[in-house]
Structure 1
Amino acid sequence: MNVGAHRTAPPAAVDGDRWFRRYRPAAVPRRRLLVLPHAGGSASFFHAWGTAFDHGTEVLVARYPGRHDRLTDPCVHSMEELADRVTAAITPLLDVPLTLFGHSMGASLAHEVALRLWREHGVSPAALHVSSRKPPHRLTPHQVYKEGDEALIEEVLRLGGTDEALLADPDLREVVLPAIRADFTIVGTYGPRPADPVRCPVYAYIGDQDPSLSAADMSDWSEVTAEEFRLDVLPGGHFYLLDQHENLIRRIARRLSAGD
């Protein structure tokens, strides 16, 4: 299995529904991995994941509206709408086992998608992987989305994972800020709610120097499943998955293949 982090990804095709960047393996896939980015994130952040798994794994990365090649599409401002639309888009692709991975805001979104897949289609993901985000019943939403641009930018830079030069350029900042504010609105209005259980294993990941949450916070994801739960603490901050790319991919890949 290839777990190299920096190889050039294969050509990517965008689904007609515009919601996923889809990397096609050479053979018929045995499974799919849907990656759900963080607030302010985009599919390009996870570009290297396209070649990080074996040819039996087809990788899809969500393309949220309002950025990159969906720049003219209206942004989504609520978790409910975003989860509904992602679930509708992934439904035609449930012919093989589906695993969900979400980082930060994407972790909450992955949980919501998993719940909808069961409630609406009677399908459970093979596994739910959540990264750098408190579980639904432990969330403490922040109101930074209501503040001015400088406060929002300060929070984005505090967490890391965003090119500082992008936010320093006034013209580029004007382009990217609407999507960032929309995502932080989703985060800020998605408050504590019941720990609705998923019917699959849950694997949680966190950096040991995350400024916003602790390993104890992530361990509470165990309360959303009656099946296997594992917590991996890796070196790094909120975006530990940049420096720990190979380490993280290796762990996910092992868990993907264990489900065969």
Structure 2
Amino acid sequence: MSPSSRLAMVRLVVFPHSGSGPTSLRPLLSRLPPWTEVLGVVLPGREERIGEDPEVALDEVLGQIAEEIDALPALPTVLFGHSLGALFAALVSAQNPRAVAGAILSGQTPVALPARDAEDVLSEAGLTPPEVLDDEEWRSRLVRLLRADGDLAAEARRRLVGVRVPVRTTVLGGLADPLVPSAELRGWRTHAPCVPKLFAGGHFYLLDESVEQVAGEITSVLREAAARVEW
């Protein structure tokens, strides 16, 4: 994690989707207000950690994230996770609520969905450029990442059974998401009081047609978190 602003009033810790790093969410994050410190979580096997083995234990991932958040300077901190990242954001919020002012969970459900092959997910998600999909080496790398992340997601869902997310929780999703149907977002209600907010678009609604609206929604959560602090 590395800060993006030194004059911040609030912090956003970003947990990206399967097979990717926080850089992929730049079209959304670049629209957030300048008084936001944005930190991205990079898992093994992607971005600057591309040479590391992506097959890691959930406890190792969560432990490292919690340690880094605890070591940060005091600042209202909101966790934002999309897809796989939403499961991580929920678990970290539940495990360390004193360090978290709110959680934004996007494009994911805590309820297990029918299993999908990584190859199918890669094709259906709609974000990977065709030239990458057509490159055998890169496609193989991405499939391995997605399978490792699928194992992490399955374990994260098991850990969430019976767990309450004890911070203010916002749930977002795409109306035409082929991977996580919008009706499944209601599964978060067993973990936190929330009403899912839906936007036009598919699994990556937050990066295309609804990017401005989603940025506005996140900004509202950040502004509320900052306002609760007495400066």
Give the TM-score of the pair, scaled to structure 2. Answer: 0.87
> Contact (CA 8 Å) 1:78, 1:185: kept in 2 or not?
no
What is the alpha-carbon distance in structure 2 between the residues aligned to residue 164 and residue 188 of structure 1? 28
What is the alpha-carbon distance in structure 2 between the residues aligned to residue 34 and residue 98 of structure 1? 7
Tell me if 1:256 matches 2:222: yes
Change (3 A) 1:133 1:195: farther
CA deviations over 1:142-187 (Å, ceiling 9, x no partner): 2x5xxxxxx5222211122222321211233344443233212212
Tell me if 1:56 matches 2:35: yes
**Structure 2 counterpart of 1:128, which letter?**
A
Within a 5 Å distance, the mapping from 1:77-226 to structure 2 comes to 77-93=56-72, 95-118=74-97, 123-135=98-110, 138-140=111-113, 142=115, 144=116, 151-192=117-158, 193-225=160-192
**Structure 2 counterpart of 1:219, which letter?**
R
> Contact (CA 8 Å) 1:202, 1:230: kept in 2 or not?
no
Q: What is the RMSD of the two structures over their aligned residues, measured on CA atoms?
A: 2.1
Structure 2, unpaired ranges of 5+: none
Q: 1:24 maps to which residue?
A: 5
Bigger mean CA deviation after superposition, 64-73 or 183-192: 183-192
TM-fit CA distance, 1:188: 3.8
Structure 1, unpaired ranges of 5+: 1-19, 145-150
Give the TM-score of the pair, scaled to structure 1. Answer: 0.78
Higher relative contact order (CA 8 A, sep 6+): 2
> Contact (CA 8 Å) 2:69, 2:99: kept in 1 or not?
no
Fraction of identical pairs, as percent: 25
Give the paired residue count.
224
TM-fit CA distance, 1:129: 0.4
Change (3 A) 1:157 1:94: farther
What is the alpha-carbon distance in structure 2 between the residues aligned to residue 128 and residue 205 of structure 1? 11
What is the alpha-carbon distance in structure 2 between the residues aligned to residue 255 and residue 208 of structure 1? 21
